[in-house]
Structure 1
């Protein structure tokens, strides 16, 4: 999920810069608006990248813990098998029955400790996966927010192309407000 910064907002900002030199006050306002929107879009794009990295990190940590969990369960099974073998041997009676019963109890205690550890690791895996999902969800919202800002920049640029029409500027401001609100909402 790598994220390359888009060049489009900067191209729009260049157009806005040229318009700003025209001297028309409204076009200067539009130009400044586009520059601000480009900075906000880039900032939200960076936040989106951070969330992607955080999701990948949590998923990797969950995978590593899942491997440890699998190892613990395999170790638990080995101890349980040994406990079973000693229990069967002890049930046969004989001179070593007491020692075999003690060994069965020891392996049972060890297996229980390992089971507890395996269950704790499973909970950690679930927690990391939950955090990864949270970061992924935030990433998706930030992607939509950034898209709204890119659309706002493009539409606001129409005000320059149409030599001062105000509807593209207002539309761009509305889209930008929606994008910023969406980005803020992603962190609530």
Structure 2
């Protein structure tokens, strides 16, 4: 989640005013804002990592699908040749035995090709599932970052109002909720 370029400056200005007033509670609120900002940065980094991982897994899935498609095309070509040799072998010509051997060879080859195509499809499915897990983690981290950012904004209200405590308490709850959500999303 991107902040506007001036948001950090505004929060820093409010914190600076609090320090100048030498109000212990407002200094605590300023420290809370700093901690929440660091937490938001960490969550945003994890969010970026999960986005990259989701994209990489989906790209791998596309590659595996392409490889599977190639194998299935190869399978079809070999299968057509096998059928042609089966037809030729059943025609009763002088080369029927040779055609039957070739048809049998193609049958063995098509079994191996089919096995490889199935393996690629299985790998594709695994990559798609992994990509989905990374997307779910990313969405959870996005919510967590949003909670922490809202906590920062609410904590700033405690400074603006010159020491009302409810915004600071609310900011702490939002920060903890964001941290818990980030932990649950990233590790879960």
Give the TM-score normalised by structure 2: 0.95
Give 1:132 shift. 0.2
Residues of 1 paired with 2:169 and 2:17: CA distance? 20
Residues of 2 paired with 1:6 and 1:62: CA distance? 35
Alignment match, 1:26: 25
Q: Post-superposition, which runs of at least 4 consecutive aligned residues in structure 1 deviate over 3 A?
A: 3-7
1:61-99 per-residue CA deviation (whole Å, 9 max, x = no partner) reads 111111111000000000000000000000001210000
How do 1:168-179 and structure 2 match up within 5 A? Answer: 168-179=167-178
Structure 2: runs of 5 or more not aligned:
none
Give 1:10 shift. 5.3
1:1-23 per-residue CA deviation (whole Å, 9 max, x = no partner) reads xx656543453234213322220
Residues of 2 paired with 1:14 and 1:44: CA distance? 24
1:14-59 per-residue CA deviation (whole Å, 9 max, x = no partner) reads 4213322220000000000001100100110110011000000000
Distance change in 2, residues 1:51/1:5 (3 Å): farther
Alignment match, 2:44: 45
> How many residues were matched structurally?
186
Mapped contact 1:10–1:38 kept (Cα < 8 A): no
Residues of 1 paired with 2:97 and 2:22: CA distance? 100
Residues of 1 paired with 2:21 and 2:51: CA distance? 41
Deviates more, 1:16-25 or 1:37-46: 16-25
Alignment match, 2:148: 149
Distance change in 2, residues 1:59/1:140 (3 Å): same
Alignment match, 1:107: 106
Aligned CA RMSD, in angstroms, stands at 1.3
Name the SS of the counterpart of 1:21 in structure 2: helix
Structure 1: runs of 5 or more not aligned:
none
